[in-house]
Amino acid sequence: MAKYRKLGKTSDQRKALLRNQVTALIYKGKITTTLARAKEVQKIADGLIALAVKEKDNYETVTVSAKVPVKDKDGKRVKEVVDGKKVTKFETVDKQIKKDLPSRLHARHQMLKVLYPVTEVPATKAGRKKGTKEVDLVAKLFDEYGTKYASRNGGYTRIIKVGQRKGDGAMEVVLELV
């Protein structure tokens, strides 16, 4: 018996399709696809969530000092004149950051191999680069899903059959996180 389904695609197309669908599932929580694809995506997604559950608390909190620009009431940087030049004014702030321990860092790298980067675009300024932000799906896996599924032993996703697709009769399903 084969270890995976070929899905009628070459290996690079298949890997890209599965990565794309796993990324969409983690980001949105639910996707609609065919049954064969859903079973393959389910294997990958369950593995990523299991990794997040295992490594969710494996970090240490460290205090670091950072230079942050001072901003006025409108959110613009405050400038001051030094030696005849306008220079941005900075202040030093202490921040708490999570420092991954080696096994969590390895898990993070394994997740990044599978997940594509996701950019969130606000609806009001669609088509513009300003206002977009990167979504950290790995942090979402560790913080949100890792704690949510900590008491569960596997079975993080569910397949619900919708019916046959009109064009080719393929079984359509909804794959969602439990």
**Residues 6 or more apart whose Cβ sits within 8 Å of residue 35:** 159, 161, 170, 171, 172, 173
**Confidence grade of residue 1 (pLDDT, cut at 50, 70, 90):** low
Q: Give the long-range contacts of residues 98-107, CB within 8 A, separation 24 or more.
A: 98/59, 98/60, 98/61, 98/62, 99/59, 99/60, 99/61, 99/62, 100/58, 100/59, 101/58, 101/59, 101/60, 103/55, 103/58, 104/55, 104/58, 104/59, 104/142, 107/51, 107/52, 107/54, 107/55
Q: Is residue 111 part of a domain?
A: yes
Query: In this predicted structure, what is the pLDDT of residue 75?
Result: 85
Q: Are residues 47 and 90 in the same domain?
A: no
Q: Are residues 83 and 166 in the same domain?
A: no
Q: Are residues 169 and 115 in the same domain?
A: yes
Q: Is residue 117 part of a domain?
A: yes
pLDDT at 127 exceeding the cut of 80: no
Domain that holds residue 73: 59-100
CA nearest to 119, candidates 145, 143, 137, 139: 137
DSSP letter (8 states) at residue 131:
T
pLDDT at 166 exceeding the cut of 80: yes
Q: Are residues 86 and 106 in the same domain?
A: no
Q: pTM for the complete prediction?
A: 0.85
Q: Are residues 32 and 50 in the same domain?
A: yes
pLDDT at 34 exceeding the cut of 70: yes
**What does the pLDDT look like over 89-124, one tens digit per residue?**
999 999 999 999 999 999 999 999 999 999 998 888
